[in-house]
Amino acid sequence: MPTVSVLNVEGKEVGKVELSEGVFGIKPNISVMNDVVKNLLANRRQGTQSSLTRSEVSGGGRKPWRQKGTGRARQGSTRSPQWTHGGIAFGPKPRSYRYTLNKKVRRLAMKSALSSKVLDNEMIVIDKVELDSFKTKAIAAMLKAVGSDRKALIVLPDNNKFVISSARNIPGVKTAQVNTLNVYDILNADKFIVIKDAVAKIEEVYA
């Protein structure tokens, strides 16, 4: 059963917490994590790209020259795809890139991502973060104290508007709640910072 030190906001160890073997201690499945990340990014695509076909570009209503006798290739319109300013043949049109993955695959990917952070010593457990106002300096000081100087993901047990808004101003720092966690954000963060109360909720959801 994996064990992680619990730190306070000043970076001092105040205890240890045992993590669930079935959530934080499995062998990471890289292939499944890759599939889920690709699915997440594909579902985020807007799919609004669009090009004009020959029927949509302006002009070209008149046959440029007669069919025979000129020595040139026959043409029906100056807006055919081979002409400059002509329409696009088989160009992109608005579409949805969404597709779904099996629920068991998504759960396995989440457990693999959580376990990989423990294996790589990139998971940090904080005992609690208490703010009574919007204080970006307080969050920045906490991140520096726990050794997170680059991209970080802070997981909260509930909706704390002071922490969320205070962390929003720090480049590379994101916040999430247990019900909004996703594999991409976990893997993309250099440090996975979890409030102690959120650890129990994660284990409750994915155990």
> Is there a single domain that holds both residue 171 and residue 120?
yes
The three-state DSSP-derived secondary structure of 105-168 is HHHHHHHHHHHHHHHCCCEEEECCCCCCCCCHHHHHHHHHHCCCCCCEEEEECCCCHHHHHHHH
Q: Based on the domain organization, do 61 and 117 belong to the same domain?
A: no
Q: What is the pLDDT of residue 156?
A: 92
- Domain assignment of residue 7, given as a range: 3-45+101-206
Same domain, 81 and 118: no
Domain match, 124 and 90 both: no
Same domain (yes/no): 120, 136: yes
Q: What is the pTM of this model?
A: 0.82
Q: Are residues 176 and 136 in the same domain?
A: yes
149 and 194 fall within a common domain: yes
Q: Same domain, yes or no, for 147 and 201?
A: yes
Per-residue pLDDT at 130: 83
What tokens does 108 get?
A: 């396995």
Q: What is the pLDDT of residue 122?
A: 92
Tell me, yes or no, whether 24 and 125 share the same domain.
yes
User: Total structural domains in the chain?
Assistant: 2
pLDDT at residue 132 in the model = 80
* Residues of the chain falling short of pLDDT 50: none
